[in-house]
Amino acid sequence: MTTTQEVYDLLDKAKSFVCSKIPESLSKPKSLIICGSGLGGISSLLQDTTEISYSEIPGFSVSTVPGHAGKLVFGFIGSNKVPVVCMVGRLHFYEGYSFNETTFPVRLAKQLGVEIVVVTNAAGGINPNFKAGDLMIIYDHINIPGFAGWHPLRGPNLDKFGPRFQPLSDAYDLQLRQLFFQQKKKLGVERNIHEGTYFYASGPTFESRAESRVIRTLGGDAVGMSTVPEVIVARHCGLRVLALSLITNECVVDPPASAFDENPKPLDEGMASHAEVLEYANQASLDVQKIIEATVNEF
């Protein structure tokens, strides 16, 4: 197991390397924006950019998922020229990385002076009122891997960042959520936006019908394979969090056709796919980009 001092040393190396590659004006970004599947276009909003590949940074792992470019993009966003850094592509537990590896970028962001983390993701709609293309602002989460002992704060506590026992009842910042809705209204964006609870499943399989019914019963409104580890570590670091899910498909919750049915429905009806995730993300990306730009501009 990696010791706390080894983690601190690796973060120091990463910070030194990154700071050597970016101009002084970008060395203390206000916000980290984590771009989920199909939402990497958020980084195109940045001005005067500097890009660094994950593979170059000490301690960083490489993103292996289609739609995740795997680079940090530093730049300024909005008319107020707010300095930010975008993670274009995230790291996932299902790729074989540990939670320490998948959340390393969040701790690096804290080292760089980031105060706010904006997390985006693509998610399946569990709530029957959610349709593909809708947006959901996360106001709570259910961490199923955490229930089973797979938790990003497991192991020796990094006292430099936060306490041994981190409360999460305030994980999703109310003022930031209010600001997001205000900017959506101000911009006249008509896309449906909900608030809800994000259910974190480790993946990489999409949920079975029975699992989707369980998630609904437990109170999940949307389900995905990311975000919660990053949010937990961000809160442990004392960072404020705004998290957004793009609903890319409606999860199938009806039981499958029975062998006794005379006219069974096809089993693949409504079945999720990564191509579908990227398609809906691309369709909604302009609205997401506009609202995020306007929101971060007020940070």
The annotation status of 90 as a binding-site residue, yes or no, is yes
The catalytic residues are 37, 68, 92, 94-95, 122, 225-226, 249, 274
The annotation status of 279 as a binding-site residue, yes or no, is no
Q: Is 4 helix (H, G, I), strand (E, B) or coil?
A: helix
The annotation status of 230 as a binding-site residue, yes or no, is no
The annotation status of 37 as a binding-site residue, yes or no, is yes
Q: Please report how the helices 4-21 and 104-112 are oriented relative to each other, as an axis angle in degrees rounded to 10.
A: 60
d(CA 271, CA 123): 14
The annotation status of 91 as a binding-site residue, yes or no, is yes
Please state the length of the chain. 299
The annotation status of 122 as a binding-site residue, yes or no, is yes
d(CA 212, CA 130): 14
Residue with tokens 């002076």: 113
The annotation status of 151 as a binding-site residue, yes or no, is no
d(CA 95, CA 101): 11
The annotation status of 249 as a binding-site residue, yes or no, is yes
CB neighbour class for 100 (10 Å; exposed up to 12, middle 13-18, buried from 19): buried
The annotation status of 92 as a binding-site residue, yes or no, is yes
Count of C-beta atoms within a 10 Å radius of residue 196:
23
Annotated binding site for phosphate: 37, 68, 90-92, 122, 226
Annotated binding site: 37, 68, 90-92, 122, 207, 226, 249
